[in-house]
Chains A and B, each alone.
Chain A
């Protein structure tokens, strides 16, 4: 790199050397700072074991006539954060799923139980990604000085939940005089 040492009239060469040396050092230091990009969850995202949170709702492969569902679960641990995402088939990625509380991420409270309701954007299959992890402060608190972080505290739990919204309008169905979703699902051969 060409460094003009004689470009500034009236300034001593020594000062110029120091100035440019300082710039080089700053450049090197800055380039070493890691940049934390938000994790991107996409169609290749896989589920893990449920080591932080047990999910009680939705049930596996749940079907519903309403474009909404409950997401609930429990944990025995303190300081667990949960993030909710919904898969967007157009972009091929998971996007934050905002619940009726107006949040897409939250910390599980003192009871260890969370119950959230979210609107589902589309008919057919809706894939919900639940990510659970301990708060960073908890990792620091539970890790003794000079001891490597415990492996399990670094992990995040990922659970993929599928809810199918049926296209039939519940209002049309009940006008036909049937008010039993199980019977309807059997008739539609969704349930055996």
Chain B
């Protein structure tokens, strides 16, 4: 009897000791760094990458937004760009996205398919009602994933680099451009949803009457049959526009001397207690974990690397890798303010991973909407040069490396009025060409422009705060030039 009671007492003591041990291990786990075996054990307890499985679904659609929606009427010789901040943008895009989903279903075939060329696409675009332009070519499997389309079809386009809706007697004609063909579908009027023909005509009439509306033209309409790329889209009226400079700031947490706790909280989030701090010979703050490392440069650069070797067999599909890339962006996007990110390129040439690049888009710069911010000449030690805001290498399992030019953006306090005539740009480009050509043989080099648009240019700077004015980005051949905008002269001053 006594023995039984004694054994029972020992069992209770043992249970209490076990409970205390578990509690103590938990306390120790919270306070430990990533040294083995804690890191090995903590991988079983660490929080997942996302708060829940629905997170990616809730925001992935924002990475399939057009960088520009153009509303046109060939009769009215009218082209207007609809900004992301406007009510019309979401209205038009939501309807167009639904049309796209309904069109890309299995069993629906295009009524026509023809070879793609820039000139042919321009002919379609000039007659279209709505034109949707994207920052890059999206492969169809990525499009289906971004649009939550579970079924797949082998017919139709291989992907989307842009699409058009053209009014027809029965509704709309949809033209989709992939990398080498234009595919044409008909959309009956009862399938156009909220985006009706009557709605389109009402919108055109409203835009035509709107005071201060900015109107555009294609070069073909202003200067046909010239050596200048005919599909360049430029402002026609007004010829002078107020535009803000863009204020950019490196986050304060990136300042030297580094506050590692603050940096860790910003960069590592929930994992902020699990890292080894250090500073490398280039002056970058290092936040090292067992399997990955972050480097933070005071100039506003953030670098991430996965330290273990990745297998080439883990490359997977582009949407699996893109999902990982979006997860990385979602974890870090709180570092950026005042600008959207849009997908600007997808590269598949590497054997073990995909490379996704993203750039910034500023929604409002005054009278013109959605100006891109072009990142230029950011050099990292090891001679890697960044020419995009975010570059991510990812496979189906994880992000392998990421580079991010981190900035907070805001419009400048005052705007300047600029001369944004295309003619002025051509004259300045010609003057610049004359100054930069040294030999007599090159003096007659004619302007060969195949792209031009307004943008902000983000260059490396030792100062934390910069104000960057808007300027032209002009591409000729394989070269890009940046040409400053000039203040508007008084009208009639010629």
Query: Is B434 interfacial (CB-CB < 8 Å)?
Result: yes
A135 to chain B, nearest CB (A): 13
A176's nearest neighbour on chain B, judged by CB, is: B201
What residues of B have a CB within 8 angstroms of the CB of A100 in the complex? Answer: 237, 239
Query: Is B430 interfacial (CB-CB < 8 Å)?
Result: yes
Q: A68 to B228, alpha carbons, bound, how many Å?
A: 23
Query: Is A5 interfacial (CB-CB < 8 Å)?
Result: no
The A contact surface, by secondary structure, is mixed
- Cross-chain contact of B431 among A107, A110, A171 (Cβ < 8 A): A110
Within 8 A of A (CB), among B173-221: 197, 201, 204-205, 208, 217, 221
- Whether the Cβ atoms of B492 and A102 lie closer than 8 Å is yes
Query: Is B223 interfacial (CB-CB < 8 Å)?
Result: yes
How many chain-A residues does the 8 Å CB contact rule pick out? 36
A122 to chain B, nearest CB (A): 18
Interface segment among A10-18, A28-36, A59-67: the answer is: A59-67
With A64-B77, A177-B169 as known contacts, state yes or no: A107 contacts B222, CB within 8 Å.
no
Query: Is A74 interfacial (CB-CB < 8 Å)?
Result: yes
- Whether the Cβ atoms of B494 and A101 lie closer than 8 Å is yes
Within 8 A of B (CB), among A84-134: 100-103, 105-107, 109-117
With A56-B223, A59-B224 as known contacts, state yes or no: A110 contacts B427, CB within 8 Å.
yes
Q: Mark B232-249, 1 if CB is under 8 A from A, else 0.
A: 000011010000000000
Query: Is B491 interfacial (CB-CB < 8 Å)?
Result: yes
10 CB-based A-B contacts, threshold 8 Å: A56-B225, A103-B491, A111-B430, A113-B228, A116-B423, A117-B237, A171-B205, A174-B75, A180-B75, A184-B75
What residues of A have a CB within 8 angstroms of the CB of B426 in the complex? Answer: 109, 111, 113
Query: Is A72 interfacial (CB-CB < 8 Å)?
Result: yes
Given contacts A57-B223, A113-B228, A177-B197, 14 further A-B contacts (CB under 8 A): A56-B224, A57-B222, A72-B222, A109-B424, A111-B429, A112-B430, A117-B222, A171-B76, A171-B208, A174-B73, A174-B76, A179-B75, A180-B75, A180-B127
Query: Is A70 interfacial (CB-CB < 8 Å)?
Result: yes
**6 nearest CB pairs, A to B:** A109-B427, A102-B491, A102-B492, A111-B426, A111-B430, A110-B430
What residues of B have a CB within 8 angstroms of the CB of A175 in the complex? Answer: 201
Query: Is B11 interfacial (CB-CB < 8 Å)?
Result: no
What residues of B have a CB within 8 angstroms of the CB of A101 in the complex? Answer: 239, 421, 491-492, 494
Q: Among the interface residues A109, A113, A116, A179, which one has the most CB atoms of the partner chain B within 10 A?
A: A179
- Whether the Cβ atoms of A179 and B129 lie closer than 8 Å is yes
B240's nearest neighbour on chain A, judged by CB, is: A101
What residues of B have a CB within 8 angstroms of the CB of A116 in the complex? Answer: 423
B448 to chain A, nearest CB (A): 12
- Interface positions of A (Cβ within 8 A of B): 56-57, 59, 64-66, 68, 70, 72, 74, 100-103, 105-107, 109-117, 170-171, 173-175, 177, 179-181, 184
Query: Is B226 interfacial (CB-CB < 8 Å)?
Result: yes
A64 to chain B, nearest CB (A): 7
Within 8 A of A (CB), among B264-287: none
How many chain-B residues does the 8 Å CB contact rule pick out? 41
A178 to chain B, nearest CB (A): 8
- Whether the Cβ atoms of A111 and B447 lie closer than 8 Å is yes
With A57-B224, A59-B224, A70-B222 as known contacts, state yes or no: A107 contacts B75, CB within 8 Å.
no
- Cross-chain contact of B423 among A64, A109, A171, A177 (Cβ < 8 A): A109
- Interface positions of B (Cβ within 8 A of A): 73-77, 127, 129, 167, 169, 197, 201, 204-205, 208, 217, 221-226, 228, 236-237, 239, 421-424, 426-431, 434, 447, 491-494
- Whether the Cβ atoms of B492 and A181 lie closer than 8 Å is no
What residues of A have a CB within 8 angstroms of the CB of B421 in the complex? Answer: 101, 115
What residues of B have a CB within 8 angstroms of the CB of A74 in the complex? Answer: 223, 226
B376 to chain A, nearest CB (A): 25
What residues of B have a CB within 8 angstroms of the CB of A106 in the complex? Answer: 494
Q: A117 to B129, alpha carbons, bound, how many Å?
A: 23
Q: A116 to B421, alpha carbons, bound, how many Å?
A: 10
Q: A116 to B222, alpha carbons, bound, how many Å?
A: 8
Q: A112 to B494, alpha carbons, bound, how many Å?
A: 16
- Whether the Cβ atoms of B223 and A179 lie closer than 8 Å is no
What residues of A have a CB within 8 angstroms of the CB of B427 in the complex? Answer: 109-111, 113
What residues of B have a CB within 8 angstroms of the CB of A102 in the complex? Answer: 491-493
B206 to chain A, nearest CB (A): 11
A47 to chain B, nearest CB (A): 20
What residues of A have a CB within 8 angstroms of the CB of B224 in the complex? Answer: 56-57, 59
- Whether the Cβ atoms of B236 and A117 lie closer than 8 Å is yes
Q: A72 to B431, alpha carbons, bound, how many Å?
A: 20
- Whether the Cβ atoms of A110 and B222 lie closer than 8 Å is no
- Whether the Cβ atoms of A66 and B237 lie closer than 8 Å is no
- Whether the Cβ atoms of A179 and B74 lie closer than 8 Å is yes
What residues of B have a CB within 8 angstroms of the CB of A170 in the complex? Answer: 73, 75-76
Q: Among the interface residues A68, A72, A174, which one has the most CB atoms of the partner chain B within 10 A?
A: A174
With A105-B494, A107-B494, A179-B167 as known contacts, state yes or no: A113 contacts B226, CB within 8 Å.
yes
